[in-house]
Amino acid sequence: MSYLLCLERSAMLRLYRNGRKIKSPLALTARLELQAEQVERDCQRIYHWHRQERYRAGNMLCPEENELLTRIGPGTPMGELMRHYWIPALLAEEIAEPDCAPVRVRLLGENLVAFRDSNRKIGLLGEHCAHRGTSLYFGRNEECGLRCVYHGWKYDVEGRVIETPAEPPNSDFRNKLRHLAYPCQEVAGVIFAYMGPREKMPLLPCYEWLNLGEKQVFPVKSFLECNYLQGLDGDCDSAHLNFLHKMFKPDARREFLRNEDQSPAFEIDEMDFGFRVAAIRKIGPDKSYVRISQFVMPFIGCVPVGREVDGKLDGFKAVYQVPSDDHNTWRYDFFFKWSKPMTKEDSSKRDFVGADKISLR
């Protein structure tokens, strides 16, 4: 696993050393412009240890290197890098209706609140009111704004302070203020946020799972008590298939994994978007089973699961391992099909996740 992890890091570093354009493996039509000087310097720090041949098999990362890759708060190298991507913030169903109650969102170490205003526009604001620090989670979502319950300050989705009732009638103090607010877009049942510099904001990627009909995509959100990198390693590692996903009842689709080749060989190709890894198992004298997964910057794993139609896999699963903070992760699974709408039978993962997004044990 350390070999895969180091190659994954190698791909990250090469992307930011060689250029600022990313191409999707899945018909990405929008090119994503990345950050300039500051993030360039941050990435050079990551590239430093890469040049010391840390990617060789058997080498483990030292504590300082792990810190560099897994600390994602404001001002950290990896945190600044991630803020230059559109990232999932919450499911659209969590704020389904206009003027519904706001919800808390913890993302990249920041405490935020999300709401849908009277015109269905989505706001993602810093949680604490700029006036006295009261949590806007307890605010009233009304008449195209979120109103603090303490002194009535009201914010729109752009972070503008539109009302300050306790100020003198002629005061223009509110015009001098701007609350923390992040742009949002709703697609495929998920609300994506961009937390980087506005002048560097890229287009939302046109990945296939984000560009299908609403009924062909089935997003599932869950909470993981580990950092994003620990979750991402599992998405790129097919060696655990024989054990963690072992079936104890007859299943013709996986029967060949029961006794054959418990230790697959791996072939890895570094790509512009990240890397592609093939796990190769021998399942007969002249037959191999090849399972190909993909890692897409900065934290997406594309996992080949699903059923075949006409001899080809009908869709797969895209997994976003989104850091909540340095120690916890929001996982978003996008199940989708090309041939038909998704049904509950196609993905029952929500049966294993409670209303609080925590897996049921």
- Single out the residue in 139, 163, 195 at which a domain terminates: 195
Same domain flag for 174 and 51: no
Q: What is the pLDDT of residue 57?
A: 44
- Single out the residue in 146, 165, 195 at which a domain terminates: 195
Residue 154 · residue 170 · CB < 8 Å: no
Same domain flag for 42 and 58: yes
- Single out the residue in 43, 63, 84 at which a domain terminates: 84
H helical segments located in 169-227 = none
Per-residue pLDDT band for 293 (boundaries 50, 70, 90) equals: confident
Give the span between the Cα atoms of 274 and 12, in whole angstroms.
6
Mean pLDDT of 83-111: 97
Whether 204 maps to a domain, the answer reads no
- The closest alpha carbon to 191, from 258, 118, 102, belongs to 102
Whether 263 maps to a domain, the answer reads yes
Whether 202 maps to a domain, the answer reads no
Same domain flag for 342 and 243: yes
Looking up residue 155, the CATH number of its domain turns out to be 2.102.10.10
Q: Which of 72-76, 262-266, 287-291 has the highest mean pLDDT?
A: 72-76
Mean pLDDT of the chain: 81
H helical segments located in the chain = 2-18, 37-50, 63-70, 77-82, 228-235, 241-244
Same domain flag for 191 and 311: no
Same domain flag for 310 and 218: yes
Same domain flag for 7 and 80: yes
Residue 302 · residue 317 · CB < 8 Å: yes
Whether 243 maps to a domain, the answer reads yes
Choose the weakest-confidence range: 98-107, 195-204, 251-260, 317-326.
251-260
Whether 357 maps to a domain, the answer reads no
Res 279 pLDDT > 70? yes
Whether 304 maps to a domain, the answer reads yes
Same domain flag for 263 and 188: no
Write out the residue range of the structural domain in which residue 291 sits. Answer: 213-352
Same domain flag for 271 and 155: no
Number of domains in the chain: 3
Looking up residue 284, the CATH number of its domain turns out to be 3.90.380.10
Res 222 pLDDT > 90? yes
Q: What is the pLDDT of residue 112?
A: 98
